Amino acid sequence: MLSKMALDGCSYDDVLKEAQALGFAEADPTADVEGHDARAKTAVLARLALGCRINESDIPCTGISSLTKDDFVYAKTLNSTIKLVGTARRSSDTTVQAFVTACLCPMSGIIANVNGATNVIQIVSDALGTSHLLGAGAGRFPTANSVVADMVGIASSSEQKQQKQQQEPFPVPFDSNIVADCDYTSKFYIRLNVKDQTGIIMTAGKLCHDNGVSIHSVLQDPIENPDNVPFVITTEECRRSQVEAFAKSCSEQEWLLSNPLIMPILR
């Protein structure tokens, strides 16, 4: 869906209808478009790769339903595109930052250039650096293949258990001392839709300062409709809670038309 929005300039509603017609999205698309499916996968990958057990409900999750054409226009200005990304990363010896959200992805990276119904996993490790695994992520044949593989895996595990073969199922041992840090750090993209008037950017700058958010850039295309002007603030590294506090402060301003859209900028 995001590939169609980025490459063809389609609206969210149009690409959702097409995805449902092609069988890539369910009749009730909530699990896909709101990131719930990606959140479940992120929790599993955090257990496999990092040895920590994170409840799905504890992983911050934001879907793609609030994205507009404007976001892809500004993403292109920043030589980036937008992808739904699930992230689990060690932030210290005892904490893991896990979250699922649409992200601004630089076109110089591999993730930004994976399109269509394809999934990619990026693995960053001390020994290997950065590596990627790509594969089909939707459609009847990839889904059927995964279902059969799971059935075979369950049957094999049961047979091994019956034979009393002890085998550690996880590559990284579970560490109960690792906890989830849901207030993750990143550089952020913030889109605000406002009714044009003087002093908005000055006020937004002050609100950023008040909430400890350092501005990296302010982007605004020429105004076409003064009753609905989208502009973007990109930030330096900060906490998600600081950006959310800034967004809440903006919501109290009479010039703001809708809740600000917040996206991390992929590292």
Question: Active-site residues: which are they?
Answer: 41
Q: Which residues pair with 125 in a beta bridge?
A: 129
User: Would you call 124 helix, strand, or coil by DSSP?
Assistant: strand
Pairing, β 179-180 against β 95-106? parallel
How many residues would you count in the chain?
Answer: 267
Q: What's the CA gap between 172 and 157, in Å, rounded?
A: 18
Pairwise CA distance, residues 101 & 263, whole Å: 7
Contacts of 194 (CB under 8 A, 6+ apart): 200, 228, 229, 231, 255, 256, 257
List for the chain the helix, strand, coil content (%; round to 5). 35, 25, 35
Measured CA to CA, the distance from residue 221 to residue 87 in angstroms comes to 31
Q: How many CA atoms lie within 13 A of 232 on its CB side?
A: 23
